[in-house]
Amino acid sequence: MFRYGVRQILESVPDCHLVGEAEDTDGLDAFLRRHKPHMLFMALPDEDAGGLAAIGQIRESHPQIRLLLNSGSTDAGAYGVRLMKLGVHGFLCRRQPVDDYRQAIATVVAGQRYISTALAQQMADTLYDPDHRPGHEGLSDREFQTMLMLASGLSVSDIAEKEGLSVKTVSEYRSRVLRKLGLRHTIELIQYAFRQRLVR
């Protein structure tokens, strides 16, 4: 249903033509090489910790493709700054108005970057008041991913298996996250993530 809605919006934007679509990210590299799109509109699953890695791989393998991302999160600020630093050209929240989607698509297709009002406000807050910046912005991408997975209920061993890492390595990432955020236990990390609206 969501893809159908996106198709309708894409078809209503001048100079925008749909060249292909996929249900998931399996075989994404081959998909992009086959269709050679100018822009990729990609929906990230809610709190998808692996999304950052996937985006980094796309930017490295297909630097010419403009990326417009959509997240199920209702808070653009939670991921927006980090995603823009990765080279994403635009970021939308699932519940933004349809007109915002049209504007974002048209802006990215035209070769510019789309920044929503909510994201612009957070970027301004960070620029003019560094103390306003939440602690998780100081985490590395790997630490941030680990935090999201822990906050989503995965254990250290679950994360190790999912990411192909050793339990010791994931435990080290967990320790770094707790230390940087000034937290003592995973339950405090979960509470922090909920307060920051990083998970639901």
Residues 105-118: pLDDT tens digits?
999 999 899 987 77
pLDDT in tens, 10-66: 888 988 888 888 877 777 888 888 998 999 998 876 545 556 777 878 888 898 999
> Can you give the CATH number for the domain in which 189 is found?
1.10.10.10
Do 95 and 123 fall into the same domain? yes
In terms of DSSP bridges, do strands 90-93 and 39-44 run parallel, antiparallel, or are they unpaired? unpaired
Q: What CA dihedral angle connects 136, 141, 147 and 148, to 10 degrees?
A: 100
Do 119 and 29 fall into the same domain? yes
Residue pair 151/190 in contact by the 8 Å Cβ criterion: yes
Do 105 and 40 fall into the same domain? yes
- Give me the number of domains the chain comprises: 2
Do 76 and 146 fall into the same domain? no
Work out the mean pLDDT of the chain and round it to a whole number. Answer: 83
Do 109 and 139 fall into the same domain? no
Q: Which of 9, 10, 6, 45 is nearest to 25 (CA)?
A: 45
Residue partners of 7: CB distance under 8 A and separation at least 6? 18, 21
Looking at 74, 109, 128, the residue that finishes a domain is 128
> Can you give the CATH number for the domain in which 48 is found?
3.40.50.2300
Pairwise CA distance, residues 18 & 146, whole Å: 35
Do 138 and 120 fall into the same domain? no
Do 13 and 75 fall into the same domain? yes
Do 67 and 157 fall into the same domain? no
pLDDT value at residue 104: 92
Q: Is residue 93 part of a domain?
A: yes
pLDDT value at residue 170: 93
Q: What domain range is 175 assigned to?
A: 134-195
Give the H or E element holding residue 31: helix 28-35
Cβ neighbours around 148 below 10 Å, total:
22
Do 121 and 150 fall into the same domain? no
pLDDT value at residue 196: 79
Give the H or E element holding residue 39: strand 39-44
Do 67 and 153 fall into the same domain? no
pLDDT value at residue 131: 61
Pairwise CA distance, residues 155 & 46, whole Å: 18
Do 75 and 139 fall into the same domain? no
Do 191 and 150 fall into the same domain? yes
Residue partners of 142: CB distance under 8 A and separation at least 6? 173
Cβ neighbours around 27 below 10 Å, total:
10
Residue pair 81/137 in contact by the 8 Å Cβ criterion: yes
Cβ neighbours around 68 below 10 Å, total:
21
